[in-house]
Structure 1
């Protein structure tokens, strides 16, 4: 757990492998409701993808979706792996990158944002730093904050969370050498719960679902930090659905599937499921923002 974090700079792999001709041939025997496939998923999204697969396989008992959870950079490499049918991460390919996969793999490639996620900030229950601005977040990540807080991230390599912090928050500045990396998101939670000076960065799907028994147990160990709103200076907000939808919570990102399939098979079936009514409801219940359905915000008041 206390392995020093070594940031691996994210580089979109421009592999020129040719999988036609002598390459492995695709198995066309599966259908949207029958067969077996393997997909590659960024580890940050394990809770929600596990839930999606469980429901899909339950509704289609002749299917089996094997999932490999990895750092995001490894998922992107799997786009050139002919045994991987789908990648789920926060990466969206450019037109030229998509064409590179098509030319190399000789399959149809589709991608679609299916939900909006947020990077949640968690603190030890004893911490007094529960309201932070983005400027203070940047100082914590660079080691220049007024308090000796140690940032802890979900992965030892280039996960989507690390890439987001490097690209969208630090924007070229160096991450502090004191930063720590945990092998999994739940390891981040456990580490922060035991170390008062630690502050963690994880996908909100790990702690956002208050109907999930495991996530409720996590919330007893740590507290979620409120971040200054992107539209109202001085107002601090949590990474809840309404704030993710409006991007009032400043650290949001889209969850995207990239499907490479030479026929209408199980990958297509699972993709349609995630973007359809049931899949979008699962995202909603996991407290992510559904990306393919309208979201209505209604004013509400509480009375003492």
Structure 2
């Protein structure tokens, strides 16, 4: 009996010792996870994760900014728990999670817009979708070819990265398959796109609107200086200024701005962890106030109750 008792105690100690070697699972109020995101969402992701960690000090987010496809690949290969992206998973990507029996989650959190920015010296601040289509087909190459244009020189299209969500979105929007005949210049970030446009009157830059739409953020205000944000019309022959729309909150929410796009969070979480906590905070809690503050349109508005007393 004594030997059997000692063996049993030894096995229990061994099991407990093995379990003790495993790090505890994260949960909505503590832990560390990796979050990947396209660089065009830098202000959005930074503010949302910082606000969440302010509420739960024991939570930590390691944020990695990559071109959208690379960010999604990180999540698929278990190098990131969450991804902020402009699209859902493709069938072949979904199959990779299915093979590992990971259900995951997809949550739309906002409507975003790709902003078209030009140099302050360029007064051609209005453009139609038809004109943009002709620019991306190579039929329009000069600023003087635009209706009412007074800027001279070739149109230089400026994007943040060869594989960015901004570039992919615009090319898909105008069904552009071949860019070899287009005057395209790529930088390394949305901020560098802004800097390039400031220095080049012939540039037409494409950025995520959250970089310049937060009037309470000093960096956002600074970046928006000395630029014009173009108004875009879905009509081929707009007759008045009201036929053009900009990528700011009301025109995004009312679905008037034609270069709007969704913002999703993609998750590979397999337990009720920190990733799920962040998603709930953003989609169903006060996180939507931050989305609104950034000038985007939250999918689920945050209800604020105001009590009026005499």
TM-score after normalising by structure 2: 0.81
Contact 1:207 1:219 in 2 (8 A): yes
In the alignment, what sits opposite 1:270?
A: 278
Structure 2: gaps spanning 5 or more residues: 1-21, 144-153, 304-310
* SS of residue matched to 1:237: coil
Return the alpha-carbon distance in structure 2 between the equivalents of residues 51 and 172 of structure 1: 35
Q: Tell me the residue number matched to 1:125.
A: 120
Deviation at 1:231, TM superposition (A): 11
Q: Could you say which residue in structure 2 is the equivalent of 1:226?
A: 231
Following superposition, the deviation at residue 226 of structure 1 comes to 0.8
Does residue 105 of the first structure (1) align with residue 100 of the second (2)? Answer: yes
| Aligned-pair CA distance for 1:266 | 0.7
Q: Please state how far the C-alpha of 1:293 moved relative to its aligned partner.
A: 2.5
Q: Does 1:88 align with 2:84?
A: yes
Is the aligned partner of 1:192 residue 2:197? yes
Which structure is larger by alpha-carbon Rg, 1 or 2?
2
- The answer for the alignment partner of 1:151 in structure 2 is 157
Residue 97 of structure 1: how far off its partner (Å): 4.4
1:28/1:263 contact within 8 Å kept: no
Matched-pair contact (CA < 8 Å) for 1:231–1:248: no
Unaligned runs of 5+ in 1: 1-25, 296-304
The two structures, once aligned, show a CA RMSD in angstroms of: 2.2
Aligned: 1:61 with 2:54:
no
Please give the TM-score of this superposition, normalised by the length of structure 1.
0.82
Determine if the alignment matches structure 1 residue 167 to structure 2 residue 172.
yes
Q: Which residue, out of 110, 117, 123, partners 1:115?
A: 110
Moved more, 130-139 or 57-66: 130-139
CA gap of 1:232–1:242, structure 2 versus 1, over 3 A, is farther
C-alpha separation in 1, matches of 2:93 and 2:301: 25
Residue 201 of structure 2 corresponds to residue 205 of structure 1: no
The residue matched to 2:97 in structure 1 has which SS?
A: helix
* 1:228-260 per-position Cα deviation (integer Å, ceiling 9, x unaligned): 146994311211111111221100100001111
Helix, strand or coil at the partner of 1:273: helix
Change over 3 Å in CA distance of 1:75–1:128 after alignment to 2: same
Counterparts of 1:219 and 1:138 in 2: how far apart (Å)? 26
The 3 A distance-change label for structure 1 pair 232 and 92 is farther
Moved over 6 A (4+): none
> Counterpart of 1:249 in 2: which secondary structure?
coil
Alpha-carbon distance in 2 for matches of 1:185, 1:70: 12
Aligned-partner Cα distance in 1 for 2:195–2:280: 35
CA offset digits 1:36-75 (Å, max 9, x no partner): 0001111110001100011001110001010100001101
Q: Is the helix fraction higher in 1 or 2?
A: 2
Change (3 A) 1:99 1:141: closer
Structure-2 separation of matches of 1:63 and 1:175: 46
Q: 1:265 to 1:198 in 2, by over 3 A?
A: same
Task: Give me the whole-angstrom Cα distance separating, in 1, the residues matched to 2:59 and 2:106.
Answer: 22
- Structure 1 residue 101: deviation in Å? 3.2
- The DSSP-based 3-state class of the residue aligned with 1:79 is helix
Query: Number of matched residues?
Result: 268
